[in-house]
């Protein structure tokens, strides 16, 4: 084994141990387990955005829509269809993913800023639907009146509603599944093709790669991941909010990815951790937290465009 792969293995072990032990080290540092759960879910969302942004090189600025659809899918299932947490997760994932797949066909021919513009505009469609269709979605007040259900294994029930720690481990398990799927796809020939498209689209086309179809598949996959993250988020809050579909939420996700480092697999998780903790802290100390978040955007873009991980790697080299 080379030194490089040993280092990677150690880093990977460190990440998972940190995540596994989060409920135990968060509290002494002044955090709480629910905060760790939120970081995990929003980190998953940021990683899904980065699946498209960092590894295929196309910027979707409307991904919050699929996140929000996942949340509503899960919430509506729990409220009206069945009191089952796994079913809610499946329904949310499908809702986000299928809507993404359909709209993706309209979007994939655009590139660059135009791709961003069209994704924003289509994302807003879902925001307006959630906002206007109050009889189903609760409109501006959001969707209430559901809660996550204990997981029934037949011989034993896992209570994830009242125990914050149990719920954290449940979310971590889901997170691990999706992250493993993402990593697997990125290592596959398909994942390599995505990176080839990012690096040089024209060349990939000359090599006979059907670029549009690959971008559509990548977009659809990331919408499925996003829907799953959104469904988890509905379980975190026992609530789904139309603002979760708004483009400003998409901006936050993109920011997490960029701040952490969009060229790296784990960067967005780090970005999400910093972003969530900072926002949590700022909104508790000042009413003008929006200005500070805005300032954070400006500073990151001007001074840390490669993100925290990019910055660390660069200064090491």
Residues of this chain that bind other proteins (CB under 8 A):
53, 59, 61, 106, 109-114, 116-118, 120-122, 124-125, 128-129, 132, 247-248, 251, 254-255, 258, 288, 290-291, 293-298, 300-302, 305
CB 264, CB 310: distance < 8 Å: yes
Would you say 33 or 124 has its CB closer to other proteins?
Answer: 124
- In the complex, the smallest distance separating the C-beta of residue 230 from other proteins, rounded to whole angstroms, is 20
Q: What 3-state DSSP class applies to 143?
A: strand
CB 68, CB 127: distance < 8 Å: yes
- In the complex, the smallest distance separating the C-beta of residue 8 from other proteins, rounded to whole angstroms, is 27
The two tokens of residue 270 are 């780090």
- In the complex, the smallest distance separating the C-beta of residue 190 from other proteins, rounded to whole angstroms, is 23
Residue with tokens 């936050």: 252
- In the complex, the smallest distance separating the C-beta of residue 27 from other proteins, rounded to whole angstroms, is 32
Compute the distance between CA of residue 48 and CA of residue 225 in angstroms, rounded to an integer.
6
Compute the distance between CA of residue 141 and CA of residue 93 in angstroms, rounded to an integer.
23
- In the complex, the smallest distance separating the C-beta of residue 102 from other proteins, rounded to whole angstroms, is 10
Would you give the DSSP letter of residue 79? I
Would you say 8 or 109 has its CB closer to other proteins?
Answer: 109
Q: What 3-state DSSP class applies to 147?
A: coil
Compute the distance between CA of residue 256 and CA of residue 297 in angstroms, rounded to an integer.
10
Would you say 112 or 183 has its CB closer to other proteins?
Answer: 112
Would you say 125 or 274 has its CB closer to other proteins?
Answer: 125
Q: Can you point out the beta strands (E) in the chain?
A: 151-152, 157-158
Would you say 59 or 164 has its CB closer to other proteins?
Answer: 59
């Amino acid at each position: 084994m080379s030194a490089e792969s040993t280092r990677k293995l150690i880093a990977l072990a460190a990440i998972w141990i940190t995540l596994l032990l989060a409920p135990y080290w968060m509290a002494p540092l002044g955090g709480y387990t629910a905060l760790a759960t939120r970081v995990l879910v929003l980190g998953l969302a940021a990683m899904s955005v980065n699946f498209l942004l960092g590894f295929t090189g196309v910027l979707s600025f409307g991904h919050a829509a699929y996140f929000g659809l996942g949340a509503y899918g899960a919430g509506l299932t729990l409220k009206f269809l069945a009191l089952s947490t796994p079913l809610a997760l499946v329904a949310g994932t499908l809702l986000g993913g299928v809507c993404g797949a359909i709209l993706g066909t309209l979007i994939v021919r655009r590139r660059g800023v135009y791709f961003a513009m069209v994704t924003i505009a289509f994302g807003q469609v879902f925001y307006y639907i959630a906002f206007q269709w109050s009889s189903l979605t609760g409109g501006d007040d959001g969707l209430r009146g559901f809660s996550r259900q204990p997981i029934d294994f037949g011989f034993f029930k896992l209570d994830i509603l009242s125990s914050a720690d149990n719920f954290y481990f449940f979310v971590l398990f889901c997170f691990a599944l999706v992250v493993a799927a993402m990593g697997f796809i990125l290592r596959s020939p398909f994942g390599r093709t995505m990176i080839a498209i990012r690096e040089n689209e024209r060349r990939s086309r000359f090599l006979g790669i059907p670029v549009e179809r690959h971008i559509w598949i990548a977009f659809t996959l990331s919408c499925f991941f996003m829907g799953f993250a959104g469904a988890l988020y509905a379980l975190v809050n026992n609530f789904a909010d139309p603002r979760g579909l708004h483009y400003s939420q998409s901006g936050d996700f993109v920011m997490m990815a960029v701040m952490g480092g969009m060229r790296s697999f784990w960067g967005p998780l780090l970005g999400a951790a910093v972003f969530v903790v900072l926002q949590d802290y700022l909104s508790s100390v000042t009413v003008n937290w929006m200005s500070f978040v805005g300032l954070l955007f400006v500073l990151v873009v001007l001074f840390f465009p490669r993100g925290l991980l990019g910055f660390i790697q660069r200064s090491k080299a």
